[in-house]
Amino acid sequence: MLSGCLSDSASGGPSHEQLEIDDGPTFDPGLQDVTEEGYYAALVATEDAAALFDFERLSDAEAEFVRETDFGASYLGVVQVCPLSSSMRFELLDVQDSEATVTVSLAVRDEAPHSDDRVISTLLLRISHPVPDRIAVELDIADRRETFSGGPP
């Protein structure tokens, strides 16, 4: 799912665009194994860091989203969750930023028709500068809340 236009956060946070990828490992050093439970977050703020994406695995639209990022004006927040199924989607609830941290609030929704496959779900957020030190994620999934964070890869 690609949001082609800039969105403003509910809390007045930074403008952003988003893209969701349901596949296997798309970012190294991110999640690599669909058989294990895991959470990963990172900030990609340079072209060198963007080279860590597996462009052979990405679709044309996904690769274009990464390659068209102007790292002089924006950065990518990477959020990965496993295992989810391909019928599950991230619902972006809010994006808040401070000098040190961008905080992303998400919920996972399971859409019909439901599937029972296992995928690594990756959410890419293209966020306008300035680049914080860390990304913090608050994720509501089923009846629990997971929190995790990361910095540059």
Q: Is residue 6 part of a domain?
A: no
pTM higher than 0.85 for the full model? yes
Mean pLDDT of the chain: 91
Q: Which of 5-9, 40-44, 118-122 has the highest mean pLDDT?
A: 40-44
Q: Assign 8 a pLDDT band (cuts: 50, 70, 90).
A: low
- Count up the domains in the chain and report the number: 1
pLDDT digits (tens, 9 = 90+) for 70-115: 999 999 999 999 988 888 999 999 999 998 999 999 999 987 888 8
- Write out the DSSP string of 8-70: --TTS---EEEEEEEES--BTTS---TTS-EEEEEEE-SHHHHTTB-TTTS-HHHHHHHHT--
pLDDT digits (tens, 9 = 90+) for 41-58: 999 999 999 999 999 999
The whole domain housing 22 covers 16-150
Q: Is residue 9 part of a domain?
A: no
Q: Indicate whether 1 pLDDT > 80.
A: no
Q: Is residue 34 part of a domain?
A: yes
Q: Is residue 5 part of a domain?
A: no
Q: Is residue 3 part of a domain?
A: no
